Amino acid sequence: MESVAVKEFPKAAGDAGQVQEAGLFTSHCFHLDGGHVQFLGRVLKMQGSTLLIVNGREAETFDELAMAMPDRYDAKGKAISASIMGDRNQTDSSILAEKLSKRYQRQFYVSVNVQMDRLLLPLFEKALVTYMHDHLEHFV
């Protein structure tokens, strides 16, 4: 099984920067490397919610969007999710949105635009959670 490495965008001279702040919004870009698949992540942290877009590094698309938020009436901290755009069945976006919302007790909008199989998905999720743990200020 291939290992997953995490690295950030290098800051370029004159670049708008890795992190941009405008009022109550913060944007952040990062790379997750998973062996033969490399992911590009974009995050928009807003007051009370987070938008996470995941693409392959070769092309950026926006094929689906799911939203999840904590259920305030459930003592176990479960999350409620819905597909906003794309396939109405349970997708990687809706599953990830629900997991992140439950874990961080925050509303998450998630768009995963990479085909993942049973082996790649756990590697991606582990790399993402590790990256989020190390850079939590960009997500929550």
pTM across the whole model: 0.80
pLDDT tens track for 20-46: 555 689 999 999 987 678 999 999 999
In the DSSP assignment, the letter for residue 62 is: -
Please report, for the domain that includes residue 72, its CATH number.
Answer: 3.30.230.90
Nearest to 127, CA basis, from 21, 54, 20, 24: 54
Instruction: Please report the pLDDT score of residue 46 as a whole number.
Output: 96
53 within 8 A of 85, measured Cβ to Cβ: no
pLDDT tens, position by position, 101-115? 999 999 999 999 998
Its domain, for residue 50, covers 24-138
- 80 within domain boundaries: yes
16 lies in some domain: no
Task: Tell me the per-residue pLDDT of 72-122, one tens digit each, with 9 for 90 and over.
Answer: 887 777 888 999 998 888 889 999 999 999 999 999 999 999 988 888 888
**Number of domains within the chain:** 1
In a domain, 17, yes or no: no
Residue 88 lies in a domain: yes
Please determine, for residue 17, whether its predicted confidence score (pLDDT) is greater than 50: no
